[in-house]
Amino acid sequence: MADIFEKCRNFKDAKALMRLGIYGYFQPISSAQAPEIELNGKKYIMAGSNNYLGLANDPEMKKAAAEAALSRGTGSAGSRFLNGNTQYADELEAKLAKFKGKEAGLIFSAGYQMNLGVISSLLRKGDVAIVDKLDHASILDGVKLSEAEMVRFKHNDMEDLERILSKIDDSKGKLIIVDGVFSMEGDICNLPEIVKLAKKYGARIIVDDAHATGILGKKGRGTCEHFGLENGEVDLVVGTCSKTFATVGGFVVGDEDVIHYIRHNARSQIFSAALPPASIASISKALDLIWDDMSRKDKLWANTKRLKEGFKKLGFNIGATQTPIVPVFIGTMENCFKMWRATFDGGIFTTPVIPPAVPPNKCMMRVTLMATHTDEQIDRIIEVFANAGRALGIIK
């Protein structure tokens, strides 16, 4: 008889990497997400976090979270649809909508849940979702959860996007879904052209600002602000609260009637417990800090410039990144894990990225800094990468 656990016993790839000492995942960090972390009793410079603005260890953030837990408890004890909604959640949604220049907002317990709920609630059988081939997995899974057709266009290729749109029957609902900033490559979607094509072919647009919020735009409002498209050209903006907001959760903002519909139809929101008070307070405080002080964003970009210039001077291939996400392309999976091991031994915590997140033989090290890194820490990262890259023959 077939045993559904047989595939578990046959899954040996990760254990093989563990035996070789080059397994780079599920590392047990025992300190806060800061420029320097502690792992297995040793100190490492963190160069692989999404804590872009350094707010996960900010004193004001921790104070807000602690005060919320002390005054409002540790959990919501239910779905927002039933008993888990609070005045503070409603206020946060209004605040998020104002920050993004939209009428209304809705928060979810996680970014992944948000894309599942938003996308699957909007799409129906007969609709078509048009997605970039490098969109985040949560977007793809949200489409799969619906009964809609999914068509993927070549990464940031507007000719291919138009080719696809031109072939879709006008009787079908069309939804273009793109990452604002692509989470592995660090480049930005061609939003102005996407907007033009959406208008031409009668499509709606969702932009995922997970890696753009707090980073792109003069005021850190994201991809739409970056391109000067804040007058309703983009229908919905979504994102996660685990990057610049430094906690957990997801959000969607848009027209009030659309948000009202999602609120009553997104299963991942209706059937999940609401965010705990500490997370709601953290997101709200992060918004205050981002609104009031651009120095963190400016420092992040200055740090990123220093890192990119150092890598380029050494001869590393960092692709077409336009943001603080810096991919260092290594090539084969074997060399990628060896590079991770060498940088790890040099006291740098980084993230190896392998298929299916990237195509075969395009494995990379995903390097990201925080606004709170020092020049000395950045120079040390560059030095360790230089030594490891030369030892493996990746650079000369």
> What's the mean per-residue pLDDT of the chain?
96
Q: Which two tokens stand for residue 131?
A: 């997605």
Predicted TM-score of the model (pTM): 0.95
Domain with CATH 3.90.1150.10 in the chain: 11-46+294-391
Judge residue 10's burial from the number of C-beta atoms within 10 Å of its C-beta, 0-12 exposed, 13-18 middle, 19 or more buried: exposed
Residue 76 has pLDDT above 90, yes or no: yes
Tens of pLDDT along 104-119?
999 999 999 999 999 9
In which band, very low, low, confident or very high, does the pLDDT at 358 lie, cut at 50, 70 and 90? confident
CATH of range 11-46+294-391; options 3.90.1150.10, 3.40.50.300, 3.30.70.3460, 3.30.360.10? 3.90.1150.10
DSSP for 289-343, please give it. HHHH-THHHHHHHHHHHHHHHHHHHHT---TT--SSEEEEEEESHHHHHHHHHHH
**Residues comprising the chain, all counted:** 396
Q: Which fold has domain 59-292?
A: Aspartate Aminotransferase; domain 2 (3.40.640)
How far apart CA 57 and CA 34 sit, in angstroms, is 6
Residues annotated catalytic, as ranges: 183, 211, 243
Domain with CATH 3.40.640.10 in the chain: 59-292
Tens of pLDDT along 204-225?
999 999 999 999 999 999 999 9
pLDDT (0 to 100) of residue 356: 85
